[in-house]
Homo-oligomer: A and B are copies of this chain.
Amino acid sequence: MMTKALNLLWLWGLTASGAGLPPAVRSAAERIRQAALSGSGAAGIVQSLCDHVGPRLAGSAGSRAAVAWALEQMRGLGLENVRAEKMREPRWERGVETAEIVAPAMQPLAVTALGGSPATSPEGLEADVVSTENVESLHALLARDPSAVRDRIVFYSEKMTRQSDGSGYGKTVNIRWAGPTEAARAGAAAVLIRTVGTSSNRLPHTGVMKTGPEIPLVPAAALSAPDADLLERLVREGKTIRVRLILTCRTLPDVAGSNVIGELSGSERPREIVLLGAHLDSWDLGTGALDDAAGVGVVLETARILSRLPKRPKRTLRVVLFANEENGGRGAAAYRDAHRPEMSEHVAALEMDLGADRVRAFSWLAGGTSEPALSEVAALLSPLEITAKKPEASGGADIGGLREFGVPLLDLSQDASRYFDFHHSADDTFDKIDPKQLDQAVAAAATVAYCIADMPERPAPIPEEKRKAQE
């Protein structure tokens, strides 16, 4: 309580000195926050994208349908300068994916190919399994015996832990990203990973693996947690485990895709841009409700709310629905390339891509002179039970690349406790959306977007020494 009282005094002092948010901006932000919290249209937007478009992996018919959907939605919401900015996107198709234990006893396995995986031969690939925890333990194994995995199927068994900030994902995802190529380099025949997720059902989570012209590749798939548990039990019994894997996935030539962009032009400084991003593509297994129709719903609903204000904010709000976040990041790259000349006019960027649950924390990365104003924005979020958080913001996959241009980054970190139960799996469907939590996220995003767009001073750019992303 003491801290809160001190904060309030400090805020009052700042405002009085003119360094923060003017009272009119603060009170407008409070009204926006309250209105969104009492019921937004975000869940309806999410439902429309899930039900009327469905899965929308880059390169698929769903991806094209999503672009058409997004253009129509933006126009319907009254956004301006609505356009599809063309880019090229990859086209990887899943095909058939089956696996079974053939020894010690026949048993089907629930698998899903990792994005970018090559196919096995049509009749499948059969090999003995060698089990290791992660890439580090693979290297330790190879140091003892360089032929340990040759012609084998490498099974990475590392378990992701459930954390409200989703940090378990970052700690484990390397088995999916680098695991296949590290095993390929050592002569493995194929790779199976324990699903990188927290679900305990038999729906494995897909996701992209490292690929590229110089990257050795082998067929790679994720096992659901129960199937990984089964393999681990058989490994503990000391039996030779033989698995057959059939994947018919394939990479086809790149095709045309689009980032979809719409704006609310600023009333006083229209060249200054507040970027609000989410990604339009999704994995193919589910309907991408949490990843990232939810983000799409939050940013579009935020734009709708701000479009209905009696007076337009000073700066332009630009909603960018990025293409191909999931397996290539080509949308983000295309945006950076196309908008390089106006990078210095990007006053801040916020990306929503951590599911549909409530926002827990607000953080930022900007020049030090903006601390007071951004702290005031943070204070406006505290009725939503959102705390101002250190460390500084890092942006997400789509806006993180703006850091090198000094564009201030804002993070609204959502509760990710249950996100990784569904993320990248067939279970990422609309029924998992909790409209109340989504409304809280809209309230947060709309509050932040409005304040940044209408505050007197634009946030200061990221200092040069902080423009390199930390590993």
What is A's interface to B at a CB cutoff of 8 Å? Answer: 47, 50-55, 61-62, 65, 101, 104-108, 110, 199-203, 225-226, 229-230, 233-234, 286-287, 426-427, 429-431
Judge whether A230 and B427 touch: CB under 8 Å.
no
* Contact partners of A286 in chain B: CB under 8 A: 202
Judge whether A105 and B229 touch: CB under 8 Å.
no
Measured CA separation A203–B106 after assembly (Å) = 22
Q: How far is the CB of A114 from chain B (nearest CB, A)?
A: 19
Q: How far is the CB of A397 from chain B (nearest CB, A)?
A: 25
A430 touches which of B52, B106, B199, B226 (Cβ 8 Å): B226
Judge whether A52 and B427 touch: CB under 8 Å.
no
Measured CA separation A229–B430 after assembly (Å) = 9
* Contact partners of A202 in chain B: CB under 8 A: 203, 286, 426-427, 429
* Contact partners of A430 in chain B: CB under 8 A: 226, 229-230, 233
A201 touches which of B51, B65, B107, B203 (Cβ 8 Å): B203
* Contact partners of A230 in chain B: CB under 8 A: 50-51, 287, 429-430
* Contact partners of A234 in chain B: CB under 8 A: 51
- A105-B200 CB under 8 A given contacts A51-B234, A229-B430: no
CB-defined A-B contacts under 8 Å, sample of 14: A51-B230, A55-B107, A55-B108, A62-B106, A199-B201, A200-B431, A201-B427, A202-B286, A202-B429, A203-B203, A226-B427, A229-B429, A229-B430, A230-B430
Judge whether B427 and A107 touch: CB under 8 Å.
no
Judge whether A47 and B233 touch: CB under 8 Å.
yes
Closest to A227 in B: B429
Closest to A202 in B: B426
A104 touches which of B52, B226, B429 (Cβ 8 Å): B52
Measured CA separation A51–B62 after assembly (Å) = 39
Judge whether B203 and A65 touch: CB under 8 Å.
no
Measured CA separation A378–B61 after assembly (Å) = 63
Among A52, A230, A286, A431, chain B packs the most CB atoms within 10 A around the CB of A431
Q: How far is the CB of A432 from chain B (nearest CB, A)?
A: 8
Q: How far is the CB of A345 from chain B (nearest CB, A)?
A: 37
Judge whether A287 and B107 touch: CB under 8 Å.
yes
Measured CA separation A51–B53 after assembly (Å) = 40
A105 touches which of B53, B110, B225, B427 (Cβ 8 Å): B53
Judge whether A431 and B51 touch: CB under 8 Å.
no
Given A110-B426, A226-B430, A233-B430, 11 more A-B residue pairs with CB atoms under 8 Å apart are A47-B233, A52-B105, A54-B101, A65-B105, A65-B106, A199-B201, A202-B203, A202-B429, A203-B203, A226-B427, A230-B429
* Contact partners of A101 in chain B: CB under 8 A: 54
* 4 A-B pairs with least C-beta separation: A54-B107, A226-B429, A202-B426, A226-B431
Measured CA separation A234–B233 after assembly (Å) = 44
Judge whether B105 and A54 touch: CB under 8 Å.
yes
* Contact partners of A233 in chain B: CB under 8 A: 47, 51, 430
Measured CA separation A201–B432 after assembly (Å) = 9
Q: How far is the CB of A49 from chain B (nearest CB, A)?
A: 11
Judge whether B429 and A54 touch: CB under 8 Å.
no
Judge whether A225 and B431 touch: CB under 8 Å.
yes
Judge whether A106 and B226 touch: CB under 8 Å.
no
* Contact partners of A287 in chain B: CB under 8 A: 107, 230
